[in-house]
Amino acid sequence: MKKIIVTLLLIVIIVSQLFAETGTVTLYYENGTVSYTDTQTFYEFDVQAYIDGGSGSNIFKEGQIYVEYNTSVFGTNVVDNNKIVSITKMGPLAANSGYLYTINPSGGNDTYSDAFSVSFVNAQPYTDTGYDSDTYISNSSSSLTTILRIKMEVSASGSSNLDWPSDVTDINNLFREHDATSSLYTGFSITNAVETTSIVYSNTGDPALPITLKEFSAQYADTGVALSWVTESEVQNLGYVLKRAIIYSDDDFSSYDVIASYQTDDELYGAGTTTEQNTYAYIDKNVKPGVNYSYILEDVDYDGNVVTHDPVNIVIPENLLYENEDFTLGSNYPNPFNPSFTIPFELTRTMDVTINMYDITGKQVMSIMNGSFEARQYQIRVNASSLNSGIYFVRTMIGNEIITQKITLLK
């Protein structure tokens, strides 16, 4: 009898392994944004995923996600009360017309007044030839696949976590691979299925911003990146938060991480309520040569509401090109450029400086500067919008030293 029981257990284990797809489905709730119409306030966010240990060519057969929310912000029973405005299929789900989804109301098996779930299924046979890289789920945490965009109507101001309900059971049975056996994945992770937001509700259009920002700029300095911003007015402004990301390419950024906050840096406290102009400054000393950075400024009011302002970008110049006791000259940046570039140098005493630009034939196409300059740092911004694309040479003469750098204009 014991042998029979052991044999049966082994069969169950083997069958379970045969019908289980290798990899852990890992979910993220990300990219929350608030928007307004003349009469309503909305919040929307992305559902993203990757398969840890997956092949990189996995296709979802079916899946189900749950979202729990703060009823004081969104109201109760958002499905029954038509507070879910839209659910948009994204990425692989949009690329394959076979995907269908349903929103599960509060009745039936989903008896939550503060949560809802979305189910999707791929009705297209797995043997079809229409599957390609656009329909695959990523297997890398650094390249998440967006599968859904959910938009909800907001009922009142407040803070809310949109996350996975703690009392949902059988979560390992929610996602299947699109293959001959519709096999379950071997694991499921919801640790990152959470998005925290603070929302200002308005039924009269976009509410007044807590500050009127005149300018926000980033300049390279010897000690790092000098960030500065000017406000024309402030309303119940508690303080500022600065965030930084690395730009790898035009459409590839790292995440924005906090580098300074009013909670840790006294110089980032706001002015409360004022109609006077105020100027703020902060130096980011933790930057590296040759790296392209993006900075965003957030202001926080007394109620904890956050407003994010447009980013500013800056390229940190490469290591010094030339240095002696009288001056230092850095590499021109960015290179290639369009249409402007910067020439960084520093003088330790008053010196004559002449900088000209030449094309590949040796013809002078621009006189950038010529004169006597006092001891200090310089960041000479050169606008070459009148020139054609091509290779140019920047000839810098400081005192008796002459340094020539090649630079490329790409339009």
| pLDDT number for residue 5 | 38
Domain residue limits, the chain? 20-199, 211-315, 320-409
Say which residue, 99 or 295, is predicted with more confidence.
295
162 vs 275, which has greater pLDDT? Answer: 162
Q: Write the CA distances from 193 to 27, 65, 166, 402, 407, integer angstroms.
A: 5, 9, 11, 58, 46
Task: Note whether 7 and 13 are within 8 A (CB).
Answer: no
Looking at 3.30.450.40, 3.30.1180.10, 2.60.40.680, 2.40.30.170, the CATH number of the domain 20-199 comes to 2.60.40.680
Within 12-137, strands assigned E span 20-36, 41-52, 60-68, 84-89, 99-104, 115-122
164 CB neighbour count, 10 Å cutoff: 20
211-315 folds as: Immunoglobulin-like (2.60.40)
Could you report the per-residue pLDDT of 307-365, keeping only the tens digit for each? 889 899 987 766 556 778 898 888 888 888 999 988 888 899 999 999 999 999 899 99
Give the model confidence (pLDDT) of 371-411 as tens digits: 999 998 888 889 999 999 999 999 999 999 988 888 999 98
320-409 carries CATH number 2.60.40.2550: yes
- CA-CA distance, 71 to 175, in Å (whole number)? 28
Q: Over the range 220-233, which residues count as b (16 or more CB within 10 Å of their CB) and which as e? A: beeeebbbebebeb
Q: Is the pLDDT of residue 243 over 50?
A: yes
Please indicate whether the domains covering 20-199 and 320-409 agree at the CATH topology level.
yes
Give me the pLDDT at residue 37, please: 82
CA distances from 178 to 19, 141, 147 (A): 12, 21, 15
Rounded to the nearest 5°, which phi and psi values hold at 11? -65, -45
